[in-house]
Amino acid sequence: MPFRNNLFKVFLIIVFSLYGCSNNSQNSEIPQPVIPVTPYTFDFCPKNTPNEYEDYTMLWSDEFSGDQLDQSVWNYMYGDGSAYGIPGWGNNEEQKYVDSEENVYVVDGCLFIVPTFSDDGYISARLNSSNNQLFQFGRIDVSFSVPEITGVWPALWFLPEYYRYGGWPRSGEIDLMETINLKSDELLTTIHYGHDYHRYIGTTTRLNQLTKLTNPDDHNVLSLVWDEAGFEWLLNESRVYQLKYSNLDALNPNPFLEEFHMLINVAVGGNLPGNANSDEYCRRRENCPDVKKLVVDYVAYYQKND
């Protein structure tokens, strides 16, 4: 009997020890935050309409209605840049540009540009509004979302229509938006100029996760406010960056007082993003999620009221 009692005591000690360890283990666990997963969308367009402003009147907009790109506004650009005298598009980029609907198309109120990879290498699209829609001062709004892939380089930007002061960069360049790689929460805004050598000034703005630029079902509106004194970039009406001509060196004559045209493109690889990872790129437009595309809901151009 004493032996049995001792066994029973040992049994109780083991049971309580295990229970205590189990409790301690549970109590010591640190709860992990729940990160919401955004489901993939495919050719989704939020169909937002351009904003209205008391101080501005809309002169023009493209809301990408219908099922075709408006070629009275947008021109396709082609190849690797060699035909334009800038192989690799001047930045050692890896893609070739085409007008194939595999890579650039309009569906349900949005423009989609899809960089793809195949046996032909990287293929994408680049559009400009030269000879058609020009911009000089005022406010330009773009509602959009960007792809998030290693080596990707989407851009919304402006080049001079007439190159009155000579070739790039003497006649200027205005970058409304660039992002690179997987950094869809970093917005690059820049201008380029220089009568003596290449000068540039701008900023990289780190966004919070709630305003990542890669969510197609919650398009952000990026604005360029441009006047005779300088530029202001706004994201969803919050100032991102402001630049006054008076703070720039060697700007005389000022190329940013001239007319510019707009460009919309998705480059792959090159000096800024570095090498691409082909495994991350869609092979075909079909079943390619929007997170791997540049999606533009609208472009709107306003002039300030007198």
Is residue 173 annotated as part of the catalytic site, yes or no? yes
43 CB-near residues (< 8 Å, 6+ apart):
107, 108, 110, 112, 290
Rounded CA-CA distance 169/159 in Å is: 10
Active-site pick, 63, 161, 178, 232: 178
Helix/strand/coil for 62: strand
DSSP state of 98: -
Given the residues 93, 173, 186, 259, the one annotated as active site: 173
CA distance 38 to 32: 18
DSSP 3-state of 192: strand
| Distance separating alpha carbons of residues 298 and 300, to the nearest angstrom | 6
> Is residue 228 flagged as an active site residue?
no
Cβ neighbours, 10 Å, residue 286: 8
Catalytic residues: 173, 178
